[in-house]
Amino acid sequence: MRDGKTPRVTASQLRKAVERAGFSATRQSGSHVILRNSEGKRVTLPMHAGQTLLPKLVRAILRDAGLTADDLRDLL
């Protein structure tokens, strides 16, 4: 059984995982990449090279994408 704790990931790792979940990049605004899926859900990722994202931000992005921490672990 998994503990549900949010994994520590970089923006590029999270982007790859979200893309595996069916999202694709639609545009970029500065350092933020906007991704959408076929259902119309939108996710915005801050792409700051090499920086680990804060767990609170990762949870917010996962919530927007309709994913859980366990889903993220499976997609990594």
**For position 55, which CATH number holds?**
3.30.920.30
Give how many domains the chain has, as a whole number: 1
Q: Give pTM, 2 decimals.
A: 0.83
Establish if 17 belongs to a structural domain: yes
What does 6-74 look like in DSSP terms, one character per residue?
PPP-BHHHHHHHHHHTT-EEEEEETTEEEEE-TT--EEEEE--TTPBPPHHHHHHHHHHHT--HHHHHH
Establish if 53 belongs to a structural domain: yes
Which domain, by its residues, includes 38? 11-75
Establish if 23 belongs to a structural domain: yes
Task: Give the pLDDT of the chain (76 residues) as one tens digit per residue.
Answer: 355 688 889 998 999 999 999 999 999 988 999 999 988 899 999 988 778 898 999 999 999 999 888 889 888 8
> What torsion, rounded to 10 degrees, do the Cα atoms 43, 12, 56, 40 define?
10
Establish if 34 belongs to a structural domain: yes
Establish if 3 belongs to a structural domain: no
Establish if 1 belongs to a structural domain: no
Establish if 56 belongs to a structural domain: yes
